[in-house]
Structure 1
Amino acid sequence: MSAPIHVVVLPWSAFGHMIPFLQLSIALAKSGVRVTYVSTPRNIKRLPRVSPSLSQLLTYKEISFPRVQQLPDGAEATVDVGFDKIQYLKVAYDLLEKPFSQIIANHSPDWIITDFASYWAIDIANNHRVPHMFFSVFNAAVRCFVGPKEFLVHEGRVRVRPNPESLTTKPEWVTFRSSVAFRLHEAKGYHAGFFGENASGIRDSERLARVLEGCQVVVIRTCMEFEGEYVELYESCMKKPVIATGLLPPEEINETLDKTWSEVFKWLDEKSPKSVLFVGFGSECKLTKEQVHEIAYGLELSKLPFIWALRKPSWANMEVDVLPNGFQTRTSGEGKVCFGWAPQQRLLAHPSVGGCLFHSGWGSVIESLQYGHVLVVLPFIIDQGLNARLLVDKDLAIEVERREDGSFSREDVARALRSAMVEEEGEKIRVCTRNVAKVFGDSKLHQECYIGGLAEYMRKNAPRTNSP
């Protein structure tokens, strides 16, 4: 029996990328592919341990994170720095080129899978004659909106994406009905961050363009049942293979609960099925005091039972300073606010939870829809606004209304919550989310059909399997 094919993966240093790369690695290992997951020491320590059952096929490989003067000690991921420092994280990340090349030379893998940021991995792959895959942690609708490589740089970019306003309408190459586009307040930040210069000396748009130009295959965390029209469109734009990996739904984790969380779950056990709203905005969304307070007052106005997983923002000295004065006392009967780490997967799986108020990041969308939860979306950064429009197009979410400057009120929050969770106008969405759970929660579909198919493609197209 021949040895399993070997893949080396390298994600960008953001947990919104590292976690999907790990989920892809686990899924490939389950299909008999040997995976070496490359990241930096502190990031690897913060990732889940590899299951003993997969330890022969999936291993972590540490690569030292270079020191850059502008970064604080120990900063190895976007969560460790403010938004203005991410450009220096890219400076350090680019210094991984030489040690990553050495890893490829030492391991001689059959495939390399990397992210948008490591444009230099294309030359490494070519120099070592290893085929390269680009793995998109964003969905196909986002990939289509961002567009093919010719519109990311040079004259094509100037013609199609000259300013933020150009990001507020459906692009010319999307030929079917779609509302997937940025609002102007979102577009301003995205245009500056994606097309603008940064300390690394290479724009994010240029990084992505080089990766799309040089890779042999694009793989996307999605499935045809959900957005097949976008996958097919993107492949026609790219003129190279585009493969859906399936949704890579996270596995349930049976964490040991401390006393506080045990009490929370007892509280949930007493609630009616599908009646409780889960609220969570993750660690990458750094909300302002005004935003946190408007969300809090919106929850209070909605009069819905809720559980809010909340991280203490940097602007608050103590947890007691985060929420409006008296909020927790006034909502103590119907609401729970839990600071710090939360067993999110276990919370979402609880039968009393029926809806989610969150940022509409793609990973969180997948986590929520596998349980059929109705979605109330309040996007803030990167792809979140595009995801929100996609979900609304597919009758799976209600988006909180905002002003032109991106601000929102407590009344906007409460209105969206009640519409989604209890009012008659939200019934169509509640039915659609229950139905789509049959796809999002079908682990056999995603593992056996999609990952099994991807693994087989990699085996058939690995250079050593095609050698005479």
Structure 2
Amino acid sequence: MLINGTDPRSKAEDFMVPPKWVAFQTKVVYKIHETNSVLRIVNPNVSGVSDAYRVGMMTRDSDAVIVRHCLKLLNEIHPTPVMPLGLVPPHSRIDNKIDDEMNDEAWFPIKEWLNGQNRASVLYVALGSEVPPSQTDISELALELSGVPFFWVLRKPPGFSESESVQLPDKFKERVQDKQLGIEVARSGQDGSYSRNSVAQTIRSIMVKEEGKIIRDKAKEMSGVAGNKELHDAYINKFLELLGLIS
């Protein structure tokens, strides 16, 4: 498909509907602001071929495709075997001795605060581990406007320096302390930007309102998969076995 050009999509609107080669019903499509980057990949560039073609050639000549998720569709559309690698979180001291966890000065107040919150009431927000948010993105999140207690982890991708860090919104800590606060956000159709009000509305919809119950239930269901250490260890072991076979 990537190599022989059987995917006829070449215009922005082609990517805003489900592709014909997806046999099941889905609402997952590209938004208008996402299509520009996709078109740069699928259309030929100055070299005479597209980046999608290059990916297809690389996939065809590989022994296997390793992905972090397990998607049956990938096995159906790729001639090369597709193997899930599973969740590979960074090493944490929490995985070690319980005493180390209890004596961690940074973790103890966090755990104490979390234990003081109602069950399933805290929103966990983790940003920046792969794609660093811009200063505008951080400022417009304005999580405290939602009125929902949250735990915010702001990371930097490996290789980013301190000078490339973004700052919390002005007087953010003061506002959060005063209030004792610790679905897809509506975006602009053209550039994908969002506003603080749309973020707050989305958070309330998911965390508080009845309409978000199905999402909360799904999150509980998925936590059993994400937290299944034996399952993800099995994925990694199979991957290591594959490396041994092809090395």
Q: TM-score, normalised by structure 1?
A: 0.43
Change (3 A) 1:204 1:424: same
Partner of 1:210: 57
- Asked whether the 8 Å contact 1:149–1:208 carries over to 2, the reply is yes
| Cα distance per residue 1:306-348 (max 9 Å; x no partner) | 2222369x9x9898x9344333212114345xxxxxxxxxxxx
Distance 1:318 1:163, change over 3 A: closer
Task: State the number of aligned residues.
Answer: 234
CA displacement at 1:260 relative to structure 2: 5.1
> 1:275 aligns to what?
121
Unpaired stretches in structure 2, ≥5 consecutive residues: 95-99
Counting aligned pairs with the same residue, the percent is 32
Q: Secondary structure at the match of 2:137?
A: helix
**Given the alignment, which residue of 137, 148, 157 partners 1:304?**
148
The answer to whether the 8 Å contact 1:168/1:181 transfers is yes
Aligned-residue RMSD, C-alpha:
3.6
Partners of 1:326 and 1:453 in 2: CA distance = 49
Aligned to 2:97: none
Q: As a proportion of its length, which structure holds more strand?
A: 1
Q: Indicate yes or no: 2:175 matched with 1:330.
A: yes
1:178 aligns with 2:48: no
1:52-91 counterparts in 2 under 5 A? none
Cα 1:301–1:196, aligned 2, differ >3 Å: closer, same or farther? farther
Partner of 1:403: 188
Q: Deviations over 1:107-144 (max 9, x none)?
A: xxxxxxxxxxxxxxxxxxxxxxxxxxxxxxxxxxxxxx
- Give the C-alpha shift of residue 251 in structure 1: 6.7
Q: CA deviation at 1:456?
A: 5.2
The 5-angstrom pairing of residues 243-258 of structure 1 reads 243-245=83-85, 247-250=86-89, 253-254=92-93
**Partners of 1:445 and 1:166 in 2: CA distance:** 37
> Residue 3 of structure 2: SS of its match in structure 1?
helix
The unaligned stretches of length 5 or more in structure 1 are: 1-147, 337-397, 464-468
Q: Secondary structure, in 3 states, of the residue corresponding to 1:150?
A: coil
- Report how far residue 215 of structure 1 moved: 1.6
Residue 220 of structure 2 is matched in structure 1 by: 434
Structure 1 residue 234: deviation in Å?
2.9
Matches of 1:443 and 1:318, distance apart in 2: 34
TM-score, normalised by the number of residues in structure 2? 0.75
Residue type of the partner of 1:149? L
Q: Output the CA distance in 2 between the equivalents of 1:195 and 1:214.
A: 21
Residue of structure 1 equivalent to 2:12: 164
Q: 1:325 to 1:252 in 2, by over 3 A?
A: closer
Q: Is the alpha carbon distance of 1:222 and 1:286 closer, same or farther for their aligned partners in structure 2, counting shifts above 3 Å?
A: closer
* 1:354-393 pair list within 5 angstroms: none
